[in-house]
Amino acid sequence: MNNSFSTLINDFLLYLKIEKNLSQNTIVSYEHDLIQFNEYLKKYFQKNEIELNDLKNLKIEIILKFFENLRNELKEKESSIARKLSAIKAFFKFLSLENLIDENYTFLILTPHFNRKLPVYLSPYEVELLLNAPDTNKLEGIRDKAILELLYATGLRVSELINLKINDINFEEKLLLVKGKGSKYRWVPFSDTAKNWLLLYYQNVRHKLNKTALADDTFFLNSKGEKFTRQGINYLLDYYSKKIGLQKKISPHKLRHSFATHLLLNGSDIRFVQELLGHSNISTTQIYTYVTNLKLREEFHKYHPHG
């Protein structure tokens, strides 16, 4: 039986896909991180291949030296180092669950503290400018207006938007069935305004763009009558942000940030926002509370007599 590190990495990735149902992006990140760790160990031990026996006897000090190398030699960010540590911990936990190692000491390594970047979001005024930027006298303008309204009304990820199917939209109940990360489904409500533009696009525009007679029922079609790419949606937002003269670069994720931040600033419960965004962990959503707390502090100092 081949128990090389490379083979074990492949077994681990299969476990993540089948047992843990993680997204492809997460699996690819873990693969990249573990391959980098494998290369470091091969150089450290001066071996062509790292075997299971090497991993069984791997001292925690060697793992720590790997992170020192990332930090001091490769100048990697603390956020990147934290992700690589997460990958290594998950890998050794997998080895332990499979009874391939006797002890797993990686839990003793503390995750590095790092300053998370606060999400960049648009003000309500900037959102209104952006939403009104498309020329709705044109077919593609109606489609773009529907896309922008839906992104802001729901906080969808760009992958969720471009993979949206006709049957995923319940116009009567104003609900979307969204397939998120890890193939997890969730219901997301949308506004009356979004509904009106979605219907206008669907009833009057989509069939005119459907030049290739698509076999599937992809909802949003580009000018060639094909499914949008991530780059296509990014280009669309970049085009309209330049059109209205916004100084900040706009992406679908910034509209997602705006959606979440505006909800919290208007008093929404964070658990509700978590459900809408499709975050599996509340800690991911909590980054938005930093933004709202900063906003509250600004308001206090601006309006309180002794502020």
pLDDT beyond 80 at 106: yes
Annotation says 253 is catalytic: yes
Q: Which of 21-25, 74-78, 96-100, 115-119 has the lowest mean pLDDT?
A: 115-119
Given the residues 30, 121, 152, 288, select the one marked as catalytic.
288
Residue 279 annotated in active site: yes
Cα 107 to Cα 30, 91, 128: the distances in Å are 17, 11, 47
Strand partners, 177: 187
Q: Cα–Cα distance between 233 and 240 in angstroms, integer?
A: 11
pTM summary value? 0.58
Q: Are 218 and 165 in contact (CB under 8 A)?
A: yes
CA 301 to the chain's CA centroid? 34
181 is catalytic: yes
Among 11-25, 155-169, 253-267, where is mean pLDDT lowest? 253-267
Whether residue 295 is predicted with pLDDT greater than 70 in this model: the reply is no
The DSSP letter of residue 110 is P
Backbone angles phi, psi at 50, to 5 degrees: -95, 130
Candidate list 254, 256, 257, 262, residue with the active-site label:
256
- Strand arrangement of the beta sheet that strand 175-179 belongs to: 169-170, 175-179, 185-189
pLDDT score, position 203 = 95
Active site residue 301: no
Six token digits for residue 139:
């077919």
- Predicted local confidence at residue 214, as pLDDT: 54
Query: Active-site residue 302, yes or no?
Result: no
Give CATH 1.10.443.10 domain extents, the chain.
124-302
Sign of CA dihedral 10, 108, 29, 62: negative
Question: What CATH number should be reported for the domain whose range is 5-108?
Answer: 1.10.150.130
pLDDT category, 215, cuts 50, 70, 90? very low
CA distance 93 to 83: 15
What whole-number distance in Å separates Cα of residue 120 and Cα of residue 62?
38
Average pLDDT, the chain: 84
Q: At what angle do helices 252-265 and 287-303 cross, to 10 degrees?
A: 50
> Which residues have a Cβ under 8 Å from the Cβ of 154 and sit 6 or more positions away?
176, 178, 188, 189, 190, 194, 259, 276
**Cα dihedral sign, 192-197-202-203:** positive
Q: State the CB neighbour count (10 A cutoff) for residue 169.
A: 20
In terms of CATH, what superfamily is 124-302? Intergrase catalytic core (1.10.443.10)
Indicate which residue of 157, 195, 257, 262 is catalytic. 157
Q: Tell me the C-alpha to C-alpha distance, in Å, between residue 212 and each of 206, 216, 279.
A: 12, 11, 36
Residues of the chain with CATH 1.10.150.130: 5-108
Annotated catalytic residue 230: no
Q: Which of 71, 174, 230, 253 is catalytic?
A: 253
% of the chain surpassing 70 pLDDT: 85
- Among 277, 239, 280, 236, residue whose Cα is nearest residue 258: 277
Q: What's the confidence (pLDDT) of residue 287?
A: 63
* pLDDT exceeds 50 at position 297: no
Sorting pLDDT into bands at 50, 70 and 90, what band is 20? Answer: confident
Q: Name the catalytic one among 42, 89, 179, 181.
A: 181
